[in-house]
Amino acid sequence: MALPCASSLKIFPLSSFSHCFPPQNDFTFFSSSPSPYVPKTHSEKPSKLIKNSFNSSSRLSYRFSAVEDHYDDDDDDTSDNCSFDEAVALFNDREYYKCHDYLEALWNMAQEPTRTLIHGILQCAVGFHHLFNQNHKGAMMELGEGLCKLRKMNFVSGPFHQFEQEISAVLDFIYQTQIELAACEH
């Protein structure tokens, strides 16, 4: 499998993550550092992005230059007929657990450097799964590991570089929010 030339993963606006944190009375989430998100209160629901919106979202379009391989193992339904397209669609639909399964099947088949890229995206999916289940420590760990793998790819421009930058912003948002929540608890 060749390295994808572009991709279609999207990161939702950072403000959509505010509902993932426990409410602190009528606390509004603000960051002490400049950030690319608009603060919202914990009671606001995340908004779905319009498919072609580039507003505060990472959109990556991708293509594999080779025909995608599939597992021969008939026992694992996830590994049969899974593609990067499907994994991206699952990621974009916030079905991070299932996205992880698809990416894991692709990761197991991949050769370097595609293997590292897929593993990084896989860990980001796991990180978002943890985040939306309010496991902030797990989210920071997995997003951090995924970000390290994306940075290892040395993207200097393009959609994967943009995705890497937005994962970094999400990780910073979670970290800053955890600091603020800890300060409120004392």
Report yes or no on whether pTM surpasses 0.75: no
How far is it, in rounded angstroms, from Cα 23 to Cα 35?
21
Amino acid making up residue 118: I
Q: Give the pLDDT means over successive 10-residue stretches in the chain (186 positions).
A: 50 51 36 32 32 36 39 47 88 94 94 95 97 95 97 92 95 94 86
Around Cβ 151, how many Cβ atoms within 10 Å?
14
Per-domain residue ranges of the chain: 78-186
CATH, domain range 78-186 = 1.10.3450.10
| Distances 2 to 17, 38, 106, 114 between C-alpha atoms, Å | 33, 38, 12, 7
Positive or negative, the CA dihedral 103, 107, 111, 117 is positive
pLDDT of residue 93: 93
Query: What distance lies between CA 186 and its chain's CA centroid?
Result: 31
pLDDT of residue 14: 46
pLDDT of residue 46: 33
Residue among 70, 12, 20 nearest 43 (CA): 20
